[in-house]
Amino acid sequence: MQQYMMLGVATLAVALAPSMAFAQNDVATVVSAEEIQTVVSAPGGGDREIKILDLGKFNLGIAVLRRGATRPGAPLNGINHTKLTEVYYVVSGSGTFISGGDIENVRALAADSELVTTVVGPGNNVTFKKPAQIRKVSAGDVIIVPAGVYHGFSEVPDHIEYVLVRPDVEKVLPAGYVNPVLKK
C-alpha cells in the first residue's frame, strides 16, 4: 500500500510541477508515507490537512481522508468547495464516487469551522436527489473535482482512503500549516 501511496503523491507532484516553478525557494517538500500514516491514524477521523505550502502565486494543501463503510439505503450526501479544486489519489479501499446532478437541502459550512478555515475553504453540504455522475473507484484511481462541483461517496463496503492535493489559487487556506500530530 505504501508504494501505491508514494506513487500517487509522486504522480500528483509531477502533474503540478509546472505550477510549482513559481515557488519562493529552491527546495522541494516531501510529505512522507510516515507523515501521511501518522495523520490518518490520529484520533478524530475525517478530512485532515497534513501541510499547506506557500508556493508564491498560490498555496497547496496536502491532506488525507479515510471514510468507513456506508449504510445501504442511507441518503446520498455530498459537499462542494467553492474556491478549491481537489485531486484525490485512492490508496486503499473502494466505493462509488458521485458528483453533480440534482441536489437539495443545501447547507453552508460554518465559516468558523476548522473544515472551512484550514481544510477546504467555504462550501456547502447537500443531499443528492440524482447524481449526474456515478462511478466505482478503487486503489490507484485519481479523481479531479473542480471547485464548486458537488461530490461524495456511496456504496463504500469497508473503507476508502485517499490522499488529496488542493491547489489554492485564492489563498483561502493558511500557508505554513502543519498538522499538530506531526509537531509532537
pLDDT at 45: 75
Residues 24, 42: Cα–Cα separation, whole Å:
31
pTM of the model: 0.84
Q: Which of 91, 83, 84 is nearest to 64 (CA)?
A: 91
Q: What is the DSSP string of 35-81?
A: HHHHHHHSTT-EEEEEEEEE-SSSEEEEEEEEEEPPPTT---EEEEE
Q: Which residue has the cell 498560490?
A: 58
For residue 8, what pLDDT is reported? 54
Q: What is the pLDDT along the chain (184 residues), one digit of tens a residue?
A: 555 455 455 445 544 544 444 445 678 999 999 999 999 999 877 899 999 999 999 999 999 999 999 998 899 999 999 999 999 999 999 999 999 999 999 999 999 999 999 999 999 999 999 999 999 999 999 999 999 999 999 999 999 999 999 999 999 999 999 999 998 7
Q: What is the number of residues in the chain?
A: 184
Q: What is the pLDDT of residues 118-147, one digit of tens each?
A: 999 999 999 999 999 999 999 999 999 999
Contacts for 32 with CB less than 8 Å, ≥ 6 apart: none
- Give the cell for residue 123: 462550501
Q: Which domains, and CATH codes, for the chain?
A: 2-170 (2.60.120.10)
Q: What residues have CB less than 8 Å from 110, skipping those under 6 apart?
A: 116
**Ranges assigned E (strand) in the chain:** 46-54, 59-68, 77-81, 86-99, 102-108, 123-130, 133-138, 142-145, 151-154, 159-168
pLDDT at 15: 47
